[in-house]
Amino acid sequence: MKTRNKKMKTYGKTKLTVEQMHSNPFDARAAGHVHYFTGKPCKHGHIAPRYVKRYSCIECNRIEHEKRYIPHPRKLLTSEEKAKRRKAYYQKHKGHIKALKQKWWQENKEQLSLQNAEWKKNNPENEKKRSRERYKAEPEKFIENAKKYYHENRETILEKRRKYRAANKEKFKERNRAYYHRKKKEESE
């Protein structure tokens, strides 16, 4: 039996590689295997495991299956048509889907917000991008939300800003200095 360099492919419920299979159906059947492997080509030239039940090789079986297979109409749709269907489905069951999502969120709130925070921390660029996109889509709503957030969290935001400024005093000084010089230069030009 040839050993394969490729990643070991396994077959059947027992997940056997061809190396682990019996070479005849009788031993394989006795061992409770689904396949056996002779290493010899079938009458159509495939070198592949064979079924204990039918003695046919899995390649032949696959080809036969493909010939007879009549795909479900859904599988013949283009990706656009599929998207359209999904959208229509969502529209029809919107209330239910939203309720399910909400319930899921409520039940797993703590875990999920931890996960979210972790993800955001690891993907700061993505957050910025999403924020820009939200702004572009509905600038008025975005500004409205930002204002609302600011008013509701004013104290926390200001406290955070104070702390940040205190911790980065030198940076701010440098920035202000640069701003001052730039202004001055612009005025003299």
Q: Which residues bind Zn ion (CB under 5 A)?
A: 42, 44, 46, 57, 59-60
Query: Please, which residue, 52 or 57, has the CB nearer to Zn ion?
Result: 57
Q: Report the nearest approach of Zn ion to the CB of residue 3 (Å).
A: 22
Helix (H, G, I), strand (E, B) or coil at 4: coil
Q: Which of 46, 52, 42, 43 is nearest to 21 (CA)?
A: 52
Query: Please, which residue, 29 or 46, has the CB nearer to Zn ion?
Result: 46
Asked if 21 and 13 touch (Cβ cutoff 8 Å), the reply is: no
Q: Report the nearest approach of Zn ion to the CB of residue 91 (Å).
A: 48
The dihedral through the CA atoms of 113, 116, 122, 128 has a sign that is: negative
Q: Using CA atoms, how far apart are residues 17 and 48, in angstroms rounded to an integer? A: 11
Q: Tell which phi-psi region holds residue 121, choosing left (phi > 0), alpha (psi between -120 and 50) or beta.
A: alpha
Query: Please, which residue, 44 or 147, has the CB nearer to Zn ion?
Result: 44
Q: Report the nearest approach of Zn ion to the CB of residue 115 (Å).
A: 49
Q: Report the nearest approach of Zn ion to the CB of residue 54 (Å).
A: 11
42 by Cβ neighbours in 10 Å (0-12 / 13-18 / 19+) ranks as middle
Query: Please, which residue, 54 or 92, has the CB nearer to Zn ion?
Result: 54
